Amino acid sequence: MTISETHTHVPRLPLGEDTRYEGQRFSGRRCQVIGVLDDGAASLSAAALAQLRAADCVIGAARTLALFEAEIAPGARRHEIGSALSQVPLWVREAQAQGQRCVVLATGDPLCFGIASYLAARLCIDALEVLPNLSTIQLACARLGLPWQDLKFCSVHSRDAGEWQPGADASHGLYALLQTLRQQERVAVLTSPENSADRIARMLLAEGLGEAFQIAVAESLCQPGERVRAELSVAEVAELRFAPLHVMLLLRLQPRPRPVLFGLADEIFEQRQPEKGLLTKREVRAVSLARLQLRANSIVWDIGAGSGSVGLEAARLCPEGHVYAIEKNSEDAAIIERNRRSLGLSNHSSQQGRAPEGLEAWPAPDAVFIGGSGGELVELIERVFSRLKPQGWLVMNFVTLENLATAVAALKAVGASWDVLQLQASRSKPILHMHRLAAENPVWVVCAQRGTAA
């Protein structure tokens, strides 16, 4: 089967004035995207080597071009990718417009976190032919005798992400990897010189995962200095330094936890003692979370977070999203962070502060929970409705008539559609050899969306 038959899901995008792309289907000479390894020509099939030797235009990283210099025709144009990735489709298009043979050199399998998918999204798929090689992950597993069909593949082969800071959000380059490590048993990572195995190990230590994984690192594969180190601890890897080109394999030492999905007991959460801090009780928390209408990728704001119970449970329900929490009390803010770590969450960020200060830096929310307002309720409601996404929900909890009245008036002023639910739970308590019901404080749950109240 041809590439176009097996990858028809890749979009065909307009290519400008090039008449060789008729109806956005290519009718000229295809660009060869060739996977290579660091042992040079020995890694190529006869067909791939013949394509490279016949090429009029060769595109690749400086290191790769140098490795294959002896196989490139003296008169062929060479384009070094470097930081000019966006230029590669233009170079390919220019060569094809002139009827030239064009080759792009890529490491391993160009369709495994490689340049082939990037080019396919910017050129019609018929303009490319991919000649894959072994991926470096396959090679690393082969050196270790490790089956790889159930590995989760990840890549941090991008810009320098910097050292991990607990509570960082999706803007950090290691965020997605940490989320994956929380959820998977066996992970393979394509690293970079900056986002290296030791940096990843330090992230695991910072997140309390130092005992969770055993690590193997394969360095300089197919080069004279090749080295494979296995059965390393996270702490060992954090102190080592590795060759610029290496692959990392992380295997869980014990199965990952599979906690209760919803309705965590109040006792799970640390609270301020001896004077208890604010905690949304399980019954009210369950209803509030249900009314937030969360999805797997929801962005959630938790304002006046108290001990963090609502936002932390929301983060567990939104594994592809993120929760941003703010709490004015310094002791409670520290408790939120300890609760986050004990629950093993990476998609939750908290800060100490008095809302609405700092909210402008947060991404627009799909759902907002207000558990405490610090006397700024009207401004908070106005701020939320200026940022809330369409179909998003605002849910608020109140225990005083005054705050309930203020909230309803503010919602009317912003033209929201709203409703109020009163909850009062009673829990059984022992009395002698029998049980009685002890009432919890009644709570008003106020839910609102954009629109006009009926």
pLDDT tens, residue by residue, 41-62:
999 999 999 999 999 999 999 9
Tell whether the model's pLDDT for residue 81 goes beyond 90. yes
- How far apart CA 16 and CA 29 sit, in angstroms, is 18
- Beta strand pairing call for 322-327 and 299-303: parallel
pLDDT number for residue 26:
65
Tell whether the model's pLDDT for residue 20 goes beyond 60. no
* 24 vs 9, more confident: 24
pLDDT number for residue 161:
87
Concatenating the DSSP letter of every residue in 235-288 gives HHHHH----SSEEEEEEESSPPP---SS---GGGS---SSS------HHHHHHH
| Beta-ladder partners of 31 | 128
pLDDT number for residue 157:
87
Q: Report cis status (omega within 30 of 0) of the bond before 365.
A: no
pLDDT digits (tens, 9 = 90+) for 166-208: 999 999 999 999 999 999 999 999 999 999 999 999 999 999 9
pLDDT digits (tens, 9 = 90+) for 389-443: 999 999 999 999 999 999 999 999 999 999 999 999 899 999 999 999 999 889 9
Look-up of token digits 């998918």: 117
pLDDT digits (tens, 9 = 90+) for 402-411: 999 999 999 9
The conformation of residue 85, written as its DSSP 8-state character, comes to: G
pLDDT digits (tens, 9 = 90+) for 272-312: 876 666 789 999 999 999 999 999 999 999 999 999 999 99
Q: Which amino acid is at 351?
A: Q
| Gyration radius from the chain CA atoms | 28
Question: How many CB atoms neighbour CB 220 within 10 A?
Answer: 16
The confidence band for 372, taking pLDDT boundaries of 50, 70 and 90, is confident
CB-based contacts of 334, cutoff 8 Å, min separation 6: none
Tell whether the model's pLDDT for residue 225 goes beyond 70. yes
CB-based contacts of 339, cutoff 8 Å, min separation 6: 269, 270, 307, 308, 309, 312
pLDDT digits (tens, 9 = 90+) for 94-148: 999 999 999 999 999 999 999 999 999 999 888 999 999 999 999 999 999 999 9
State what percent of residues in the chain have pLDDT above 90: 83
**420 CB-side CA count, 13 A:** 15
Q: Tell me what the mean pLDDT of segment 234-248 comes to.
A: 97
pLDDT number for residue 19:
32
Tell whether the model's pLDDT for residue 444 goes beyond 90. yes
**CB contact at 8 A, 318 and 342:** no
Q: Which of 197, 193, 28, 195 is nearest to 102 (CA)?
A: 28
Q: Tell me what the mean pLDDT of segment 229-243 comes to.
A: 97
The confidence band for 349, taking pLDDT boundaries of 50, 70 and 90, is very high
Tell whether the model's pLDDT for residue 216 goes beyond 90. yes
pLDDT number for residue 21:
46
Q: Which amino acid is at 452?
A: T
Which among 2-11, 18-27, 388-397 has the top mean pLDDT? Answer: 388-397
pLDDT number for residue 8:
32
pLDDT number for residue 12:
37
pLDDT number for residue 277:
64
Look-up of token digits 């330090």: 202
Q: What share of the chain is helix, strand, coil (3-state, %, to 5)?
A: 30, 25, 45
- How far apart CA 157 and CA 180 sit, in angstroms, is 16
pLDDT digits (tens, 9 = 90+) for 242-280: 999 999 999 999 888 888 889 999 999 998 876 666 789
Tell whether the model's pLDDT for residue 18 goes beyond 80. no
- How far apart CA 447 and CA 373 sit, in angstroms, is 15
Q: Tell me what the mean pLDDT of segment 362-366 comes to.
A: 97
| Beta-ladder partners of 152 | 187
Return the biggest CA–CA distance within the chain.
Answer: 97
